[in-house]
Amino acid sequence: MVFKRRFKNILFDLFDMIAFLMFVWWIVLFIRFYVANPYTVVWASMYPTFQENDFIVVDKITPRFGQLKRGDVIVFVPPGKTIPYIKRIVGLPGETVKLENGNVLICPHHDINACTPLNESRYLSGSVKTDARCGISEFDISTWWYFVMGDNRWFSTDSRCCFGLECYQWSSYEAPFNNIIGKVYIRFFPKFTTF
């Protein structure tokens, strides 16, 4: 009788533990797929802001319910690629981005007569120059797409040259909204910072 009662208690405890672990597992999966996702930075295209092997957390909610802004750092999968990239949003939907004399110019609503230099002093040093790549220096951005570049302009594969693909008419230099995984929210290692 005592053995049966103990066995029954052990089974109830085991069931409680399994139910709790399953509940936690579902919460972790929900957070991972719908709220936030961890990534490790690969290569040095965002140096000095991010260094190789930095551990970052990507917020998946902001792009879906908020508005992405110029200067936000995002993780996305470029058209024609399968691996995620980390880049900074430079041009917003409907704008024209011009690269001229090492500077980035933003032209609102495709009006190339009203271009203004982009102030990137918050995340780039004054000595950084942005060169045109692949013979293209002017980019018209579609609705719901973004023009992105790495902070390490000399070594970044970004929108300036179709993310390393040949720039044909069918290839895109923009980051489509639907390909954006999320906005970089926080860096955990080695230096704890928010953006």
Q: Catalogue the active-site residues.
A: 45, 87
Return the exposure string of 144-172: e unless at least 16 CB atoms fall within 10 Å of the residue's CB, then b: ebbbbbbbbbeebbbbbbbbebebeeeeb
Which three-class secondary structure string do you get for 8-42? HHHHHHHHHHHHHHHHHHHHHHHHHHHHEEEEECC
Separation between Cα atoms, residue 96 and residue 115, nearest integer Å: 9
Separation between Cα atoms, residue 10 and residue 68, nearest integer Å: 52
Omega prior to 190 cis, within 30 of 0: yes
End-to-end CA distance of the chain: 63
Question: How is residue 93 written in tokens?
Answer: 């939907």
Four-CA torsion 81, 87, 141, 160, nearest 10 degrees: -70
23 Cβ neighbours under 8 A, 6+ residues apart: none
Tell me the chain's radius of gyration from C-alpha atoms.
23
